[in-house]
Amino acid sequence: MISFLITLQRMLRAIIRGLKEPEFQVLLTLTILTLISGTIFYSTVENLRILDALYFSVTTLSTVGYGDFSPQTDFGKVFTIVYIFAGIGIIVAFVTKIYEYTQQGRIDVKQKKKEKINRGDGSPG
């Protein structure tokens, strides 16, 4: 449980760090818009409840695809094909950026510790 909380904290710090960068802002906006558009589409065309439509959008784009929901209309199936190709690229780019910011945070912490030791302000242990 503690490991999960530490990982969650690192991820939130990475997102906060990323919010200062225009590229990350664009990816975050695209990710949110992609999920919203999928949710609206599936709730209106496939008659799913909003929560079910959001759930289907997330599981589809995360490639989990439990199979508990699937498009029933031809239009829904065609949309899903396009949605997967466009959406997965956006999600992968977004997650990659979060990973990069998480790694940069770890590098920064190590660098600060090293500088502190080099100044004689701390011990290596």
Which residues lie closer than 8 Å to 93 by C-beta, 6 or more apart? Answer: 27
The CA-atom distances, in angstroms, between 30 and each of 35, 38, 56, 113 are 9, 12, 18, 36
pLDDT tens by residue, 4-41: 898 888 889 888 988 999 999 999 999 999 999 999 99
Burial class (CB in 10 A: 0-12, 13-18, 19+), 57: buried
Query: What residue spans define the domains of the chain?
Result: 11-119
So what CATH class is 11-119?
mainly alpha
pLDDT tens by residue, 70-122: 899 999 999 999 999 999 999 999 999 999 988 887 777 777 777 777 777 65
For residues 17 and 104, the answer to whether their CB atoms sit within 8 Å is yes
Sign of the Cα torsion 45, 63, 101, 23 reads negative
